[in-house]
Chains A and B, each alone.
Chain A
Amino acid sequence: MQLIDKLSILADAAKYDASCASSAAPKRSSEGKSGIGSSNGMGICHSYTPDGRCVSLLKVLLTNFCLYDCQYCVNRRSSDVPRARFSPEEVVTLTLDFYRRNCVSGLFLSSGIIRSADYTMEQLVRVAKLLREEHEFRGYIHLKTIPEADPALIEEAGRYADRLSVNIELPTQIGLQTLAPEKEMGSIKQAMQTIYTGQQTVLNEPRAARFTPAGQSTQMIVGADATDDSTLLHTAESLYGDFRLKRVYYSAFSPIPNSPKSVPLAAPPLLREHRLYQADFLLRSYGYKANELLSGPGDLALDIDPKLAWALEHRDAFPLDLNRAEPAMIARIPGIGIRTTQRLVELRRQRRIRYEDLTRLRCVLAKAKPFIITSDYHPRQAESTSVLLREQLRDRPQPQQMALWA
């Protein structure tokens, strides 16, 4: 099979993984050196596909032959898809070619399980090793980790890769049993622990070789089974806490060809995925707790964002006087982000904040208005009930084009 045919099959097989980030890598440069590649912590999206997703890395599977039969996966052994396998050298060639063209900032390599977990992991590590050692490649490398692989192999991977990820896919043991019978929550968390331990070992050792400097991440599928958002967010929160994950990715389940009856054959729940990312961002950057966003079982609202939802439930904390309030509370006002909060704090050191300042700072005023006080503004809507406010502020669904043959 020609390289280009393999590429088409193995890229098509890799598109269901949401992550394509090349950020958080340490500063590396090839200036005046042999080899190529650099990284500076900032990710670069070299292109965007018409699904609006960023193309930052060459994201392929080493092979889509697979012994597992995960129901949600297009590459499961019972799936009738064309199969292919790259040699490690072929992946290296493609990575370097795309990198020199400035089409990508590195490689994200994953694989179906062939022969054994150890054998598969060895192959993945071999690609990273070839790139780093033979070709002195200093770009970004993200390797998918096979949970059942020998911890020694995972440790080796962590020395070559900027990022390792172990996909949890389904956050409950029952979900895994039903849809991914070969997988086990225990070994998934064990692999995360191995990576976490590797990171801790080099933490205060400036001379130690780097270990996954861009951290570890995972992915959860949204909508393949009945798991609710509350379970997803609480799982994410404990993964951020237990293993210091850099990112949890949420992947709206995308219907697959020859779909088995066990998973839905429906359009991917993109809005739900979007709300989960918003909520996840509130966990990571704003200091919200999962319990504040969803205290009991259930899903996030689709018609309003989670920050607005929280504010509507905590009207006693508002309206906030922007000239006095704590920065952490300002950041909790709907329509005002962290950057704007910093700018407001800078500004109020110089003079009193007025309403028109918010326009200039490009706040989403429609959302912020009922929750703020400035030196020249007091909200009339402060008296409105949350029900009424929600009705005014919710996103209206986009009118949908009817399908011709629905």
Chain B
Amino acid sequence: MIILDCDDLFDTWRQQARWLLSHQINPDQVSWSVREDADLFSSDAHYPENLGPFQARVPLELLTLLQNAAQYCGEQRWSLLYEVLWRVSHGDRTAMLAGDKLGSELHRRLKQVSREAHHLHAFLRFIALPVDPAPKDLTVKAALLDMQTLPEYVAWHEPAHDILRTASEHFVGRLGRHRWMIATPKDAVFYDGQQLIHKRQCPDAWASLARNADDPHGELWLTYYSHIFNPARLNPKVMQGHLPTRFWKNLPEGPLIPALISEARTGKQRDGQARQIAERRGKVIRG
């Protein structure tokens, strides 16, 4: 058994896979693991460092599929990719297709990954940092954070897969020259107005800046959210399908949801109007 550690980096894995393939090493003879576990198994086979004789040819689109599926965090993260690569390079292209047993797992992962990227685009919330009047303080603050300048907007997000680095490029197009930072329990990105900087390990100071940002004007969004809801159409099941509960805790509107549901259940399902509006004085227009 060969145990490899690719440090969860696709390029490293790719080099390793290329080497394995060139020596015609079967998928069941190799596994990927983090280094601490690696001692548990010892490899008794010795292989030369240089590439072996087998020259694999695979379609370019497979590489894209593997690269995307590599963002998936879960069991057999890297070995599944090698198994797919092995089969396709030995002439069995069905391994790439969703109709195949292995291929269907590959496609399930691809779907999870793209869904998670979409979740980042959808459910991440930026908070504007207060504009500090003294530029000297700013420089000091920025230096403490290991940044050249301070971000204008910060966000805390908890993705289930390693999608932050690629998926966060979306916000470059969205926010123009504004500076922003996204912190997660794992990694972080900072856009300084010109380039996107990725940190594989989110600095503690960044995490705390993102998690503790004050939001004095958050009330407007909460008001909008409560009032665009139509209690006469209450359907929490569909909602949870689209907006999984694991995201609620980081969404400002998350804490409102249970109360909106229970209020709609206990009577407000008569019509679509929110209670606060029904209680206000109305105005008939006479022409």
Contact = CB atoms under 8 A, between A and B. Distances in A.
B98 A47 contact: no
B261 A255 contact: no
B60 interface: no
A255 B271 contact: yes
A268 B284 contact: no
Contact of A344 (B99, B230, B241): B99
B46 interface: no
A61 to B, nearest CB: 12
User: Which of A11, A15, A47, A59 has most chain B Cβ within 10 Å?
Assistant: A47
A14 B64 CA distance: 43
A34 B236 contact: no
Contacts of A380: none
Contact of A79 (B98, B228, B284): B284
A34 B177 contact: yes
Contacts of B118: 44
B139 to A, nearest CB: 24
Nearest to A401: B265
A36 B280 contact: no
Interface in A49-100: 49-55, 58-60, 65-67, 74, 77-83, 94, 97-98, 100
B9 interface: no
Contacts of A46: 122-123
Contacts of B223: 4, 7-8, 11
B225 A55 contact: yes
B73 interface: no
B93 A343 contact: no
Given A44-B122, A82-B281, A254 B232 contact: yes
A308 interface: no
B173 A343 contact: no
Contacts of B283: 80-83
Contacts of A265: 271
Given A52-B239, A103-B221, A255-B271, A30 B174 contact: yes
A327 to B, nearest CB: 15
A257 to B, nearest CB: 5
A345 B84 CA distance: 21
B10 interface: no
B153 A12 contact: no
A252 B30 CA distance: 57
Given A44-B121, A47-B123, A67 B224 contact: no
Contact of B276 (A8, A77, A351): A8
B176 interface: yes
B278 A30 contact: no
Interface residues of B, number: 76
Contacts of A59: 228
B169 to A, nearest CB: 9
Contacts of B231: 50-51
A179 interface: no
A80 B286 CA distance: 11
A75 B70 CA distance: 52
B87 interface: no
Contacts of B257: 50
A35 interface: yes
A33 interface: yes
A102 B271 CA distance: 30
Given A53-B233, A82-B280, A361 B175 contact: no
A343 B269 contact: no
Given A44-B122, A51-B235, A74-B273, A11 B97 contact: no
Given A16-B272, A37-B174, A254-B233, A54 B242 contact: yes
A265 B238 CA distance: 24
Interface of B: 93-94, 97-101, 104, 118, 121-128, 153, 155, 170-178, 194, 217, 219-221, 223-239, 241-243, 251, 253, 257, 260-261, 264, 269-274, 276-278, 280-287
Give 6 nearest A-B pairs by CB, closest first: A52-B238, A30-B176, A80-B282, A29-B173, A347-B99, A38-B173
20 contacts: A7-B223, A7-B227, A12-B227, A14-B228, A28-B173, A30-B175, A32-B194, A45-B122, A50-B261, A51-B234, A51-B239, A58-B224, A59-B228, A82-B281, A82-B282, A98-B224, A102-B126, A255-B232, A256-B273, A343-B97
